């Protein structure tokens, strides 16, 4: 053993000692500094789950309001705003649930809040109730006519254009401008109150347009006529002709 140790070059001895010191220091430091909960459930501190889960909530969730505001809750759930959470309009209200007298939720009563959803924007889905706030009863705040918990308009809209403004404006400059919407779309009055539950009809076949546009149709002379048999028989008319602006190329 001693002979073996003597044969090892001096450099190797010195470097080995240094290496062992470095390794030991590294191992000791690692075990001292690694957090106790690291690696228990994966390559992370298991405590982090608890830290993320223990954060304070600000929103109560709409079920929480039902406990005290039962009447308003029932009203809301029967009207058009039934899918709205109370806190969309009233803001985060968990502190109000915990201490009702100390914290009061917001009550937006201006003309700026409702248009956040209801202002007309061509990117919004068709049929979503939208208004142009500049021209829609300009000086009155929205809640004057619309109870926010049951926002049914005070008067049922007379025209289809009240909700389908984009379509209406396209049609109003087209050759179909004098045709009432109901000529092609059968809609019951119920559609105005429950739009998604009672949908209007849409024409389903070429013969429908043919009522006015086929060679044999009875009607004014200036209505363009085509031969139903030879004019693109494999397509329905509206695959090429936008019915609300048929002259568009």
Partner 1 sequence: MEELIQHLTPILQEVWGYIFPNEIELHWGILIVLYPYLTGLVAGAFILASLVKVFNVKELQPTYRLAMLTAMAFLIVAPLPLLAHLGHPERAYEILITPNSTSAMAMFGFVYAWYLMAVLCLEIWFEYRRDIILWAQKEKGIKKWIHKIISLFSKDISEKAIHFDKKWVKIITIIGIPSAFLLHGYVGFIFGSIKANPWWSSVLMPIVFLFSAIVSGIAMVLILYMIITPVRGKQLDILCLDKLASYLFYVMIIDFSLEALDFVHRVYESEESIKILAYLVSNKLFISLVVIQLFMGMLIPLAMIALIKILKSPPDLKKMVYFISAILVQVGIFSTRWNIVIGGQLFSKSFRGLTVYKITFFGLEGFFASVIVFCLPFVLLYILTKILPPWEEARNS
Partner 2 sequence: MENKIIETDKKVERRSFLKKIAILALAPIVFGFLGSTDKLKTIKKWMLENGYVPSNHKWGMGIDISKCIGCGRCAVACKNENNVPKEPFFFRTWVERYRIYEDGDVQVDSPNGSIDGFENTRTTNKKMLRSFFVPKICNHCDNPPCVQVCPVGATFKGEDGVVLVDSDYCVGCRYCIQACPYGARFLHPETHTAEKCTFCYHRIVQDKLPACVEVCPTQARVFGELNKKSSPLVRFLRMNKIGILKPSLNTEPKVYYSNLDMEVR
Quick one: 30 or 83, whose CB is closer to partner 1? 30
Which positions touch partner 2 (CB under 8 A)?
A: 24, 27-28, 31-32, 34-59, 61-62, 83-85, 87-88, 91-92, 116-117, 119-125, 128
> Does position 21 bind partner 1 by CB under 8 A?
no
What mask, x for binding partner 1 by CB under 8 A, covers residues 71 to 100? ------------------------------
> Residue 11's binding partner, choosing from partner 2, partner 1, none, with beta-carbon cut-off 5 to 8 A by kind?
partner 1
Q: How near is the Cβ of 20 to partner 1 at its closest, in Å?
A: 13
Among the listed residues 1, 33, 51, 53, the single contact to partner 1 using CB under 8 A: 33
> Residue 15's binding partner, choosing from partner 1, partner 2, none, with beta-carbon cut-off 5 to 8 A by kind?
partner 1
> Does position 34 bind partner 1 by CB under 8 A?
yes
Neighbouring residues of 35: CB distance < 8 A, sequence distance ≥ 6: 45, 47
Q: How near is the Cβ of 26 to partner 2 at its closest, in Å?
A: 11
DSSP string, the chain: -HHHHHHS-HHHHHHHHHHHHHHHHHHHHHHHHS-TTBTSSSSSBTHHHHHHHTPPP----HHHHHTT-HHHHHHHHHSGGGGS-HHHHH---HHHHHSTTT-------STTTTHHHHB--TTSPTTS--B-TTTSSTTS-GGGT-BTTB---SS--SSGGGT-HHHHHHHTTSTTTTS-HHHH----THHHHSTTTSPPP---SHHHHHHHHBTT--S-TTS--B-TTTS-TTS-GGGTS-TTSTT--
Q: How near is the Cβ of 115 to partner 1 at its closest, in Å?
A: 23
> Residue 83's binding partner, choosing from partner 1, partner 2, none, with beta-carbon cut-off 5 to 8 A by kind?
partner 2
Nearest Cα residue to 243 out of 199, 185, 187: 185
Among the listed residues 30, 83, 102, 239, the single contact to partner 1 using CB under 8 A: 30
- Do 224 and 210 form a contact (C-beta atoms < 8 A)? no
> Does position 3 bind partner 1 by CB under 8 A?
no
> Does position 14 bind partner 1 by CB under 8 A?
yes
How many angstroms separate the first and last alpha carbons of the chain?
Answer: 100
Quick one: 64 or 217, whose CB is closer to partner 2? 64
Quick one: 38 or 208, whose CB is closer to partner 2? 38
Among the listed residues 2, 3, 5, 11, the single contact to partner 1 using CB under 8 A: 11
CB atoms within 10 A of CB 2: 6
Q: By the criterion CB under 8 A, which residues form the site for partner 1?
A: 9-11, 14-15, 17-18, 22, 26, 29-30, 33-34, 38-39, 43
């Amino acid at each position: 053993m001693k002979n073996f140790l003597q044969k090892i070059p001096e450099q190797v001895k010195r470097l080995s000692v240094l290496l062992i010191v470095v390794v030991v220091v590294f191992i000791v430091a690692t075990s001292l500094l690694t957090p106790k909960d690291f690696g228990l459930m994966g390559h992370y501190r298991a405590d982090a789950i608890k830290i993320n889960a223990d954060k304070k909530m600000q929103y109560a969730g709409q079920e929480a309001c039902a406990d005290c505001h039962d009447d308003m809750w029932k009203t809301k759930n029967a009207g058009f705003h039934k899918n709205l959470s109370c806190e969309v309009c009233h803001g985060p209200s968990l502190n109000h649930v915990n201490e009702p007298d100390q914290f009061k939720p917001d009550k937006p009563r201006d003309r700026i809040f409702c248009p956040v959803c209801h202002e007309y924007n061509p990117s919004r889905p068709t049929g979503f109730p939208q208004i142009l706030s500049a021209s829609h009863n300009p000086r009155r705040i929205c809640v004057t006519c619309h109870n926010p918990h049951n926002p049914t308009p005070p008067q049922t809209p007379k025209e289809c254009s009240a909700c389908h403004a984009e379509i209406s404006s396209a049609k109003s400059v087209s050759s179909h401008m004098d045709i009432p919407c109901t000529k092609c779309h059968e809609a019951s009055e119920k559609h105005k109150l429950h739009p998604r539950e009672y949908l209007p009809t849409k024409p389903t076949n070429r013969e429908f347009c043919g009522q006015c546009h086929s060679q044999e149709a009875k009607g004014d002379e200036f209505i363009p006529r085509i031969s139903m048999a030879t004019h693109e028989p494999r397509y329905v008319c509206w695959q090429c002709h936008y019915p609300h602006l048929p002259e568009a190329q």
